[in-house]
Amino acid sequence: MTYPRIDLDGASVAITGGGAGIGRAVAKLFASKGAHVAIGDLNQAAAEEAAALVGGTAHHLDVADRDSFASFVAATEKAHGPLHVLVNNAGLMPNGGFLELADATDRLQIDVNLGGVLSGMKLVLPGMVERGFGHVVNVASLAGKFPVKGLAVYNATKFAVVGLTAATRLEFADAGVSLTAVLPSAVDTALASGLDLRPIPKVQPEDVARAVVDSVHNRRAEIAVPGYVGLLATAARVTPEPVLNRIRRLVRDDRALHSDRPERSEYRANLEAQQGTRR
């Protein structure tokens, strides 16, 4: 499939969760290509700091709130013109046993990791289809292909995002609008702080940012970061379960179930604070 070319010099780009981590790295790289970048984040101060760094605009954004997302899209297009690219990056990853995590924590993951992606797509795709071009990047995860103990609901949301992206990519291809799922392994950000996910490799936000920006040109359906982890996830799916379970035990694949590291405690405390602001 050949899609209309998007020239990043002067393009209008919106990034959710752009105040830190992957989102900030994505914003910096898009800005370096000449794009006009709008950064949405639940943390207004972080959004403003990132926007000042890249010469973009900052917006308070709660992706779990459809009205908040609609306001973000409207403000972005008012400032920078109709959207060329939306990067659905905002997400969260609480860890723990499936029966141990509170229902409110499960719901928050679903509302942010999946609901936010759905809202963003439904808000921007009609305009992209009408204009006959556009690109949406959904930052999913290797966890959207490979289940991990202690991340059951996170796995569920990311599996859903991968499937959603694949299905809508087929639906909108003839309209000239492309969708890409980017699947990083563990990323060296607050999201995975305090978690020992070995042997899953840890990558830097800048590695993911390159994949996101490159997708505007190559329009690939899925991009794993690093590339070889996608092959490993595919191999795992065809490996007999008894063999795979032995490998999992050897590498101690239950380390995400519990973590008493200070960084993880801080991350959980921040999530609880977020839940309080959303009530």
For residue 199, whether the previous peptide bond is cis, meaning omega lies within 30 degrees of 0, is: yes
Helices (H) and strands (E) in the chain, counts: 10, 9
C-alpha to C-alpha distance for 149 and 195, rounded to whole angstroms: 12
Long-range contacts of 99-105 (CB under 8 A, 24+ apart): 101/153, 104/275, 105/153, 105/271, 105/275
Q: Taking the CA atoms of 142, 146, 151 and 152 in sequence, report the sign of the dihedral they define.
A: positive
What is the identity of the amino acid at 12?
A: S
H helices of the chain, where? 21-32, 44-54, 66-80, 103-109, 116-131, 152-172, 205-218, 227-238, 241-250, 262-278
228: annotated active-site residue = no
> Cα–Cα distance between 127 and 166 in angstroms, integer?
20
For residue 242, how many C-alpha atoms fall within 13 Å in the half-sphere facing its CB? 0
Q: 276 in helix, strand or coil?
A: helix
3-class secondary-structure state, position 222: strand
**Cβ neighbours for 199, distance < 8 A, ≥ 6 positions apart:** 251
Which one of 3, 154, 228, 267 is the catalytic residue? 154
Active site residue ranges: 154
